[in-house]
Amino acid sequence: MYSVGEVLASESLAVIGASRDIYKPGALILKVLQDVGFKGQVAGVNPRGGEVYGQPLYKSIEEVPFRVDLALLLIPPGFVADAVLACAKKGVKGVVIGSEGFAEAGEEGRRYQEDLRAALRSTGIRGFGPNTLGIVNTETGLTTSYFSDARMLTPGSVGFVAQSGIFVGALLRYLSSLDGLHLSKGMGLGNKVDVDESDALAYLREDEQTRIVGMYLEDIRDGRRFLKEARETVRRKPVLLLKGGRSEEGAKAVASHTASLAVNDSVLEGALRQAGVLRMSGIDELVATLKGFQWMPLPRGERVALITYSGAQAIMSIDTAMQHGLRIARFAEPTRKKLAEVIASPAKAQNPIDIFPDMMVHGFEKISLETVRALLEDDGVHAVFFISFAVEGNEPYRAVAELVRQKRTKPVFFSLLGRKDDVESCKGLIEGNRIPFYLFPDMGVRVLAHMWRYARLREARKVAPVPIAGARA
């Protein structure tokens, strides 16, 4: 049996079910592979022959004049098993089954899926799907998703696994549009006739390009094996999981989506916690947490400092911090002396720090710089939240963003409110310096809580820290 790694490293691809209609997936994927610059050999297979986008279409895979490592199957489900057998004769290592109409579609579809499973097992070919957009390898430019574009194939360090076809296509396209969250590898599992979440974890654990793993799952096929692979993977890199089908109605929808069987969520929650997997509550928290792990070092403790010009958001952030097991930092005497140089009232120099009205005296840039610098130098402060307002032109934040970028010794998070255009401008500056930006600070607090939990786990298991993306050597 071939390995998942051998399939992801494929140097040639045949699209079985390639279309002469330029608007159909079987033609679009050939155009995408041209556009993204995949350096391997590509062939389209259509029983009627012809050509599309300047590429000849061969009438069978046997006619393809080069070795084929990977085949994308875009054909009706009743023909897929025989296509796999034909692929085996060509020496194909893996297939991506993009077709729908298998176990999720009823009894006939289940028979098709069992025939497919038998064909894969008898040949040793690895299968992704069915009902998936397939795989992405940004190291080589390989993709089987017609949602891909050149930006999505920009090499990064986020390995992502998803059970839903459109989810893996649309979400991965969104992630790759965010600076600093580019992919390493992407895998769509679909109905998991062969390759499943455990196989994906085992591969991504060993993949040197991948620093952090994100997953969207609707069920777990082999719970015991998954937890084993998760424990081993978490020793090396964070694993973030978003699980669909938590509610009774959601579980019913899962069954019709990818023919998955739901698992008891409370049992799963406890098992994931023991394994060290970080459970995400939604897509927004998943993306936010990816930013935290990618751009900031792990915290060395749980004590948080907050800088604000308005007490309300700081108070709510403190409530969230206490709820998630964090604590409010007590400042060391040298820190209090430094703060006193720019904040007149001792009460306002306590945690949370209130920079108003002193910012009107010293200027916003000076008070921000001195306050952040003091907290970065205080070993009793393990993370900093800067909660303020978005300003036109973003210039007042340039110096403090540069300070944090150069002195990335502990997690620092920004949360700025204001007019939409000003928020976007400030966000661009801050995230351009690889500093997490959240519209509301409670999201940043939840991210820090995930990072602190993972930091404790790594310490308990005595493993070396993962390098920070974007940090200076």
CATH of the domain at 342: 3.40.50.261
User: Is residue 376 situated within a structural domain?
Assistant: yes
Determine phi and psi for 307, rounding to 5 degrees: -115, 130
User: Is residue 470 situated within a structural domain?
Assistant: no
- How far is the C-alpha of 429 from the C-alpha of 398, rounded, in Å? 7
| Structural domain count of the chain | 2
Domain co-membership, 308 together with 265:
no
Each residue's pLDDT expressed in tens, for the chain with a length of 473 residues: 999 999 999 999 999 999 999 999 999 999 999 999 898 999 999 999 999 999 999 999 999 999 999 999 999 999 999 999 999 999 999 999 999 999 888 899 999 999 999 999 999 999 999 999 999 999 999 999 998 889 999 999 999 999 876 666 677 778 888 878 899 999 999 999 999 999 999 999 999 999 999 999 989 999 999 999 999 999 999 999 999 755 555 455 544 444 444 556 778 888 899 999 999 999 999 999 999 999 999 999 999 999 998 778 899 999 999 999 999 999 999 999 999 999 999 999 999 999 999 988 898 999 999 999 999 999 999 999 999 999 888 898 999 999 999 999 999 999 999 999 999 999 999 999 999 999 999 999 999 999 999 999 988 876 655 555 544 33
Domain co-membership, 260 together with 343:
no
Domain co-membership, 245 together with 303:
no
Domain co-membership, 264 together with 350:
no
Strands (E), 59-182: 70-73, 94-97, 126-128, 135-137, 142-143, 158-162
CB atoms under 10 Å from CB of 301, counted, come to 17
User: Is residue 448 situated within a structural domain?
Assistant: yes
Q: Which domain holds residue 214?
A: 4-280
pTM beyond cutoff 0.95: no
Domain co-membership, 338 together with 264:
no
Domain co-membership, 31 together with 171:
yes
In whole angstroms, how far apart are CA 15 and each of 65, 98, 194, 270? Answer: 14, 10, 20, 42
- How far is the C-alpha of 382 from the C-alpha of 328, rounded, in Å? 10
Q: Structure tokens of 375?
A: 């907290």
User: Is residue 427 situated within a structural domain?
Assistant: yes
User: Is residue 8 situated within a structural domain?
Assistant: yes
